[in-house]
A and B are shown apart, each in its own frame.
Chain A
Amino acid sequence: MYAFEYHRPTSVKEAASLAGQAEDMKFLAGGHTLLPTMKLRLAGPSNLIDLGQIAELRGIERSGDTITIGAMMKHAEVASSAEVKQAIPALAEMAELIGDPHVRNRGTIGGSIANNDPSADYPAACLALNATIITNQRKIAADDFFQGIFTTALEEGEIITQVSFKIPSQAAYAKFRNPASRYALVGVFVAKHADGARVAVTGAGSNGVFRVPEMEQALSGNFAPEALDGIAVSQDEMNSDIHADAAYRAHLVGVMARRAVQAASARG
């Protein structure tokens, strides 16, 4: 790790203003992505602005057909939230599948979404649940937010404050873990909304999280595993590494999508 200045603001406003003044700065949330890269000297920000003391970034709230989660909420808090479990059980289950207990008790939803790791789970939930990413400056639709691996619509110094998910009538997440890292090798989040189904895939795409329009169309007509028969995603845009090549990933997208629909249907 290289030396850095450490800041601990207590409000979003203070954090934003620090971010405006500090050179070469990074926000610190759970630190589960940022700190390992700093330890390996792959990142060396001069200023670290810790968001951990900002009360505004916490909390889970349901209103109408949305559930809104503060950016600093930890995965374990989302997984165990009665509110989330009741409104979108699939989201709580997804959070429970992230990493291990250490990771779930440090990593945050805001950090995960800002980071947009191509194998992270939350981006798939955001797309499938038609989420809105709320920042200190604006509201961004999930469909516009994720812009390729480790790339988002966030501007320099912009802070995610909350994420707001649409409550679906049915939803489920099926995750095929990378055997080593336990991130998603392929994760498929399916959700049935009043205006149609959404299918979002993480882990597989060479350009990060993506939706599968063909599957969405089929499921909008008939939200059942059979509806997906014969629908395959192309290998061309799949990621390839020692754990899974493009063909295997493309195949798994189909398998996981069917399993997710089945699980969602079984939940009723």
Chain B
Amino acid sequence: MTATGIGAPVRRKEDQRFVTGQGRYVDDFNRPGQAHAYFLRSPHAHAAIRSIDTGPATIMPGVIAVFTGDDLAADKIGGLICGWMIHSKDGSPMKAGPHPALAQGKVRYVGDHVAVVIAETLAQAKDAAEAIVVDYDVLPAVVDTAQATKASVQVHEVSPDNTVFNWHLGNKDETEAAFARAKHVTKIDLVNNRLVPNPIEPRAAVGEYDFGTDNYTLYTTSQNPHVARLVLSAFIGVAPEHKLRVIAPDVGGGFGSKIFIYAEETVCVWAAKKVKRPVKWTSDRSEAFLSDAHGRDHVTHAEMATDENGKIIGLRVHTTANLGAYLSTFSSSVPTYLYAPLLSGQYDIPAIYCEVDGVYTNTAPVDAYRGAGRPEATFVVERLVEKTARELGQNPAEFRRKNYITQFPHATPVIMTYDTGDYAASLDKALEIADYKNFQQRKQESARRGKLRGIGFSSYIEACGIAPSQAVGSLGAGVGLWESAEVRVNPTGSVEVLTGSHSHGQGHETTFAQLVSDRLGISIDQVSIVHGDTDKVQFGMGTYGSRSGAVGMSAIAKAIDKVIAKGKKVAAHVLEASEGDIEFKDGRFGVAGTDRSMAFGEIALQAYIAHKFSGQDLEPGLKEGAFYDPTNFTFPAGVHICEVEIDPDTGVTKIERWTAVDDFGVIINPMIVEGQVHGGIAQGVGQALLEGAFYDESGQLITASFNDYCMPRAIDLPSFQVGMTVTPCPSNPLGIKGCGEAGAIAAPPAVINAITDALGHEDIAMPATPQAVWRAAQKARMPMAAE
């Protein structure tokens, strides 16, 4: 291993430019002759558009053009797509309503795109947008997830009762049988609150068209620029794939919300050609609240069956998932295949059956948000396991331990085959770090001060490293989920790695370089990571689902292996030995059993000068590419323990201790991994205590700014105690499982389990705001009054 190799807590290379203000984000790109786009958005949640009069706007100062959905239709620009086909129980395909980039005849949520003004300045575009006259026939709106199918309001004609699909997974008959013979059944009703992603950098796009070459360029805030190019060309049809370059430069956080292909970037590319000028749009925070795809929003009833020995024998779940007004790019997969396959948790549950009804409402589209389906599943499993243990009078840690899966591989009744893990090891370590044995003492001490102390567990599992292409294809995905890499060795021995992964906060420029450093025995300073440009990287699937380590780096490892193999051939020529005698070790190619060797950089130079190559059997150059398709998902898992103290007078919940013990397999950079854990927990705590997107009955977003939408701040969080256990992942060459989403997945049930433990009853929903906790604490104090 080199000092900058795998396992070293190397400082992030990219931070120099980020913390000194040298990062270049989409909004930093200003193209010659650039005009500005401003989108007129619907103020109504649901309305028919009788007419749009753009006339008064077009004569305003600085206005270049005003476009509506009719203009897109006239140019045969297609609607936005959902790339994952879900079939209902009866075999029928999901009901996908039209999703035009600019409204055609109807608006379906507050923030829906009605028209776009292109002007010399943004202020002029805004002024002109105010002059557009839209005649709306305002319709009643449906907002509530649980009521969506019963409403008289119809969001899309294709779905009279607002159902997108009635999907199911698992073994129904066996599950019914398990419940029939159960000794005890625990029931729970849960709401997984709707969240607004809120990356620091809002979305942005610059579209550009070159009349000389007929080439289009889109600068965009994307987690997966190649997928954006594919969708924009093959499905929406704004430009041919080979003529469209998509650049996703520095991107300031995504959390899923920048995976999707949105209306604004589509319009910017299209409009750039129409107005013969580069067109820029940058979302402001208000637009981000209204129009970034939201996350979560499930209403669930779940039941867990246990036998006379306290073993879990069955789980049945019914979930209604709000998908919003339109199906966003991967929305249909989130509450189905990214959700139900995780319902077995870390437990050996022989029978599981899950039904999910996806519904339309007049709200912003809902799609993947950090964890995507897995936090929702973990919330169901871990709340239910905790409640079951309490009802059975068992210690929640020991109840979990008793039901853990211990033999691997383990096939669950819901698709997944877990490859490896040691759940008890994580539990033991977490109990120790959390000083669980002295918890009762701390609880009594709190009680003496009039405070309520509680402790909550979350024994989570997730499926990452998304995903084997054949598997996801059979489940309805429109794409394969492999990754690509190209390793280019320069004559000086420095290395450029072109990757299809995309870094928007993850630190790939460091961790990917560590892999190269480790394998080739060179310093990370000799390595550049190139990503986020379809003209440089041939193709890639992007970053989400904690896949960049397990899949993206595996592709790089594969390409490095090819580089080393080629290097051996070069060395054989140069060192005049047979190829079979060449060894590569500690950054040197040497002849076995001799002291003859050459450094990696020297061989690189030889590969390019090719003076010693005889004949045609060896090509000059040192550059190799690889595509890597994983053979399985990866299964990071761990135990988080949250300890809270509640002030019953005010309802304030203070997190006193947080223990996180995670098994992420092999770790490339422990410092970066800890950072991911911290950030994930912060987001999970945000969901549990602070964040919630609420619409009123008419479909207005009440929490449409930071004044009302509460993001977690440092002061809301304790100092985290992070521990690791390691079982290397057997299904990829690096043993990596992934760590990007774990905290956000683990945290919410840990918090709520701690609060319910402190209160002594289960009646609290997320976000557990001071008001909600105060009310619940009142109920705890007066059990009679609660009846």
A residues near B, CB below 8 A? 1-3, 40-41, 176, 179-181, 242-245, 248, 251-252, 255
Which B residues touch A1, using CB under 8 A?
Answer: 123
- Give the residues from 537 to 559 in chain B that come closer than 8 angstroms, CB to CB, to chain A: none
Which A residues touch B774, using CB under 8 A?
Answer: 248, 251
Shortest Cβ gap from A107 to chain B (Å): 15
Are A179 and B770 neighbours in the complex by a CB distance under 8 Å?
yes
CA distance A245 to B127 in the complex (A): 38
**B586 part of interface (Cβ distance < 8 Å):** no
- If the complex has contacts A179-B710, A242-B708, are A255 and B650 also in contact, measured as CB distance less than 8 A? yes
Closest residue of B by beta carbon distance from A182: B713
Are A176 and B703 neighbours in the complex by a CB distance under 8 Å?
no
Are A243 and B123 neighbours in the complex by a CB distance under 8 Å?
no
**B165 part of interface (Cβ distance < 8 Å):** no
Which B residues touch A2, using CB under 8 A?
Answer: 127
CA distance A185 to B593 in the complex (A): 78
Shortest Cβ gap from B381 to chain A (Å): 28
Are B649 and A255 neighbours in the complex by a CB distance under 8 Å?
yes
B671-710 interface bits toward A, Cβ cutoff 8 Å, 1 = contact, 0 = none: 0000000000000000000100010000000110011111
Are B690 and A179 neighbours in the complex by a CB distance under 8 Å?
yes
Are A244 and B650 neighbours in the complex by a CB distance under 8 Å?
no
Most chain A CB within 10 A, of B649, B694, B702, is at B649
Shortest Cβ gap from B537 to chain A (Å): 38
- Give 16 A-B pairs besides A180-B703, A242-B702, A243-B771 with Cβ atoms closer than 8 angstroms: A2-B127, A3-B123, A176-B770, A179-B690, A179-B710, A180-B690, A180-B707, A180-B711, A181-B706, A181-B707, A243-B769, A244-B770, A244-B771, A248-B651, A248-B775, A252-B650
Which B residues touch A244, using CB under 8 A?
Answer: 770-771
Helix, strand, loop or mixed for chain A's interface?
Answer: loop
CB-CB nearest 5 A-B residue pairs: A180-B710, A181-B707, A179-B710, A248-B771, A255-B649
Are A243 and B650 neighbours in the complex by a CB distance under 8 Å?
no
CA distance A255 to B708 in the complex (A): 23
CA distance A31 to B584 in the complex (A): 65
Are B123 and A245 neighbours in the complex by a CB distance under 8 Å?
no
B residues near A, CB below 8 A? 123, 126-127, 286, 649-651, 690, 694, 702-703, 706-711, 769-771, 774-775
CA distance A176 to B709 in the complex (A): 17
Shortest Cβ gap from A144 to chain B (Å): 30
CA distance A176 to B651 in the complex (A): 11
Q: Which of A181, A245, A255 contacts B771 (CB 8 A)?
A: A245
Are A40 and B286 neighbours in the complex by a CB distance under 8 Å?
yes
CA distance A245 to B651 in the complex (A): 13
CA distance A49 to B157 in the complex (A): 54
- If the complex has contacts A176-B650, A179-B690, A255-B649, are A243 and B708 also in contact, measured as CB distance less than 8 A? yes
Q: Which of A40, A41, A179 contacts B769 (CB 8 A)?
A: A179
CA distance A242 to B701 in the complex (A): 12
Are B694 and A242 neighbours in the complex by a CB distance under 8 Å?
yes
- If the complex has contacts A245-B771, A248-B775, are A181 and B650 also in contact, measured as CB distance less than 8 A? no
Which B residues touch A3, using CB under 8 A?
Answer: 123
Most chain A CB within 10 A, of B706, B709, B769, is at B769
Which A residues touch B126, using CB under 8 A?
Answer: 41
CA distance A244 to B652 in the complex (A): 13
CA distance A77 to B694 in the complex (A): 38
Are A180 and B706 neighbours in the complex by a CB distance under 8 Å?
yes
- List 17 contacting pairs A-B, 8 Å CB cutoff, sorted by A: A3-B123, A176-B650, A176-B770, A179-B690, A180-B690, A180-B703, A180-B706, A180-B709, A180-B710, A181-B708, A242-B694, A242-B702, A243-B708, A244-B770, A245-B771, A248-B775, A255-B650
Closest residue of A by beta carbon distance from B711: A180
CA distance A237 to B392 in the complex (A): 46
Closest residue of B by beta carbon distance from A256: B650
Closest residue of B by beta carbon distance from A255: B649
CA distance A251 to B702 in the complex (A): 24
CA distance A41 to B770 in the complex (A): 33
Which A residues touch B708, using CB under 8 A?
Answer: 180-181, 242-243
CA distance A98 to B771 in the complex (A): 21
Which A residues touch B706, using CB under 8 A?
Answer: 180-181
CA distance A41 to B709 in the complex (A): 21
CA distance A251 to B648 in the complex (A): 12
Most chain A CB within 10 A, of B649, B707, B771, is at B771
CA distance A129 to B620 in the complex (A): 85
Which A residues touch B651, using CB under 8 A?
Answer: 248
CA distance A266 to B285 in the complex (A): 44
CA distance A252 to B690 in the complex (A): 19
CA distance A148 to B696 in the complex (A): 26
CA distance A176 to B770 in the complex (A): 10
Shortest Cβ gap from A211 to chain B (Å): 22
Which B residues touch A181, using CB under 8 A?
Answer: 706-708
CA distance A242 to B650 in the complex (A): 16
Which A residues touch B123, using CB under 8 A?
Answer: 1, 3
Shortest Cβ gap from A231 to chain B (Å): 15
Closest residue of A by beta carbon distance from B707: A181
Which A residues touch B702, using CB under 8 A?
Answer: 242
Closest residue of A by beta carbon distance from B774: A248
- If the complex has contacts A180-B708, A248-B775, are A242 and B286 also in contact, measured as CB distance less than 8 A? no
Shortest Cβ gap from B358 to chain A (Å): 27
CA distance A244 to B706 in the complex (A): 16
CA distance A2 to B121 in the complex (A): 13
Which B residues touch A41, using CB under 8 A?
Answer: 126
Which A residues touch B127, using CB under 8 A?
Answer: 2
Closest residue of B by beta carbon distance from A41: B126
Closest residue of B by beta carbon distance from A251: B774
CA distance A170 to B533 in the complex (A): 65
Which B residues touch A252, using CB under 8 A?
Answer: 650
CA distance A181 to B708 in the complex (A): 7
Closest residue of B by beta carbon distance from A3: B123
CA distance A252 to B650 in the complex (A): 7
CA distance A40 to B705 in the complex (A): 11
Which A residues touch B775, using CB under 8 A?
Answer: 248
